[in-house]
Amino acid sequence: MKILVINAGSSSLKFQLYSMENEAVLAKGKVERIGMDSAIASFEPDGKPEIREVSEILEHTSAIRKVLDMLVHKQYGVLGSIQDIDAVGHRVVHGGESFSGSVLVDEDVKREIKRLFDLAPLHNPAHMLGIHAVEANMPEVPQVVVFDTAFHQTMPPQSYLYPIPMVLYKKHKIRRYGFHGTSHAYVSERAAMLLQRPLQELKLISCHIGNGASCTAVMNGKSYDTSMGMTPLEGLMMGTRSGDIDPAIVPYAMGKEDLTLGEVNSMLNKHSGLMAISGISSDMREILESMEAGDKNAALAFEMYEYRLRKYIGAYAAAMNGLDAIVFTAGVGENSPALRKAVCTNLTFLGVELDEQANAARSPEDRRISTERSRVQVLVIPTNEELVIARDTHQLILNRLNVV
């Protein structure tokens, strides 16, 4: 079975084509600058060089058409025909309280995703464009949606409610939803395999540290608490997002700096975090380089970033009353020995003992970076959200075939 995985943003669209017999990626790529006359489509057939084309792509339907054209291209394509695609799986950021797992797309599901536009105005409308674009190009092909929030629907009320008037939850569904769920679920399962223990008896803290960052307390295989909240702004300090701040700062800063709501929202989402403190970059690689060159602001940004992550790890160890392993994943988590070392060096009270050599080694594999003696294991597990989307899509299509 061949499954096309799509992550549609407002002006870009990433894709991967899977062959599910061996879970191989046949091709991947993206279309960027959708809406412009110089949109860039890139295509990477497995094991072959990347192809890049610049053309006018004004909306998502044309972007999907472009992806399909590339997949069946005579010279570099990987499919004989578009009919070879059995299903399409989409990443959808917000599933609200309605979705605790992946589902086949039908009119009710589309209506529900639309209803959630308010909660994820930057993401869900773009995903919907992706779903409609697939429908327009391949009306017969079943589609599945996989939600970033779904894994976190197991959180208990003490984790997901905010201590504000209940009417806001009851009327407007203001609560913690959490994000990166697909990644936290995937790395938790891999962690159990690496530890050779059943996931159902483990207490894990999964740290997904990329441009966006969140950490999750995973108890007995379920999300118990997570650092992102109603939106992906809460929690850890990130590349350009502030993470936790005193909410009273918002009206105060608005008054003092004469900011509109839109401006303060943009400040906290796009002009805060590593970028704001370092004054250099939101990219951890540049922060580390500047630190090494002696830049004090970069050093402060790194220190705050690490400190805030470590505080969450401490909090979640207390929340679960114990901890078996800490898992690092995503761009920074997988690739920065410096961050992992800074965090772990200050967690000796929990029984964390880092194996410095294993931490410094580069590898694309799942691996342990704590010593044999360490009471809490530390793991690095490369995430693979696309694979989870492909697997869920595959499973739902198989279920449907069995039912029919």
19 scored as a contact of ligand ADP (CB under 6 A): no
**32 lines the binding site for ligand ADP (CB under 6 A):** no
**Candidates 94-102, 142-150, 159-167, 209-217 — which segment interacts with ligand ADP by CB under 6 A?**
209-217
Q: Determine, following the binding rule CB under 6 A, whether residue 182 of this chain makes contact with ligand ADP.
A: no
173: number of Cβ within 10 Å? 15
Q: What are phi and psi of 292, to 5 degrees?
A: -60, -30
> Does residue number 11 form part of the binding site for ligand ADP (CB under 6 A)?
no
Instruction: Look at strands 367-368 and 325-329 and give their pairing.
Output: unpaired
| DSSP string over 71-92 | HT-TTT-S-S-GGG--EEEEEE
From the list 46, 69, 148, 225, the catalytic residue is 148
| Cβ neighbours for 170, distance < 8 A, ≥ 6 positions apart | none
Distance CA 308, CA 297 (A): 16
Say whether 148 is catalytic.
Answer: yes
Q: How many CB atoms lie within 10 A of CB 201?
A: 11
Name the segment binding ligand ADP (CB under 6 A); options: 134-142, 150-158, 240-248, 328-336: 328-336
Binding residue for ligand ADP, selected from 9, 95, 181, 210, defined by CB under 6 A: 210
CB of 187 to ligand ADP, least distance (A): 12
Q: What is the C-alpha separation between 54 and 130, in angstroms, rounded?
A: 20
Should residue 336 be labelled a site residue for ligand ADP when binding is judged by CB under 6 A?
A: yes
Should residue 330 be labelled a site residue for ligand ADP when binding is judged by CB under 6 A? yes
* Angle of the 124-137 helix axis to the 60-71 helix axis, nearest 10: 50
Total interface residues for ligand ADP by CB under 6 A: 12
Rule CB under 6 A: is residue 275 a binding residue for ligand ADP?
Answer: no
304-319 as b/e: b if 16+ CB within 10 A: bbbebbbebbbebbeb
Q: What are phi and psi of 71, to 5 degrees?
A: -65, -30
Residue nearest to ligand ADP (CB): 331
Are the CB atoms for 182 and 385 separated by under 8 Å? yes
**283 forms part of the interface with ligand ADP (CB under 6 A):** yes
Contact segment (CB under 6 A) with ligand ADP among 9-17, 73-81, 149-157, 326-334 equals 326-334
- State in angstroms the smallest separation of the CB of 367 from ligand ADP: 16
Among 285, 296, 311, 375, binds ligand ADP (CB under 6 A): 285
Residue 331 binds ligand ADP, judged by CB under 6 A: yes
Name the residues annotated as catalytic.
148
Instruction: Tell me which residues touch ligand ADP (CB under 6 A).
Output: 210-212, 239, 283-285, 330-332, 335-336
